[in-house]
Amino acid sequence: MSEDRRYFVYVTANASKRLYTGMTNSIRRRVREHELKLTPGYAAQYNITRLVYFESFEDVRNAIEREKQIKAWTRAKRLALVESTNPKWDDLSREWDQPQTFRLTPNVWVVGGLNRPPPKSVIPSAARDVGFCLECKSQPLQTNTRIPRFARDDKR
């Protein structure tokens, strides 16, 4: 069996929280099939297109076993499973093929009474690597946006 093969157990829902549980080896393909109603049946009939929960497995037998386990649960238990990880019932596939937007908000650091950027040592390395503060959320960072020198690792 290939080491990079993955299997997914997933739960999809419609706007009124009618549920469908399934198993696939390609979650993106399967969600797309649900959205386009390519497979006639329960999910297509009730417009069940929103991916609300999924788990990933390396072994197909474990995925099949988990799918059967979830399908055997009561509706209340399946609702609780979804709400434990996705309380707003967001469509987890909604942003898969969307371009990513980052936000940059310059922080004003007062050091010794002067407004100047912080030393690199206080900026988390993950933020330096991508060029934005992970806690900042107000302005989108476009690809042509100049990243302040203090947020870059290079010395241009």
Q: Which of 34-38, 72-76, 110-114, 122-126 has the highest mean pLDDT?
A: 72-76
Q: What is the pLDDT of residues 1-13, one digit of tens each?
A: 445 789 999 999 9
Output the pTM of the full model.
0.62
Let me know if residue 122 belongs to a domain.
yes
pLDDT in tens, 116-146: 555 555 545 544 444 444 444 444 444 444 4
Question: From CA 105, how far away is CA 64, in angstroms rounded?
Answer: 46
The answer to whether residue 54 is domain-embedded is: yes
Rounded (5°) CA angle 49-52-55: 115
Contact 89, 81 (CB under 8 A): no
Query: Is there a domain that residue 94 lies in?
Result: no
Domain annotation covers residue 93:
no
| Any domain includes 76 | yes
Domain of 69? 7-85
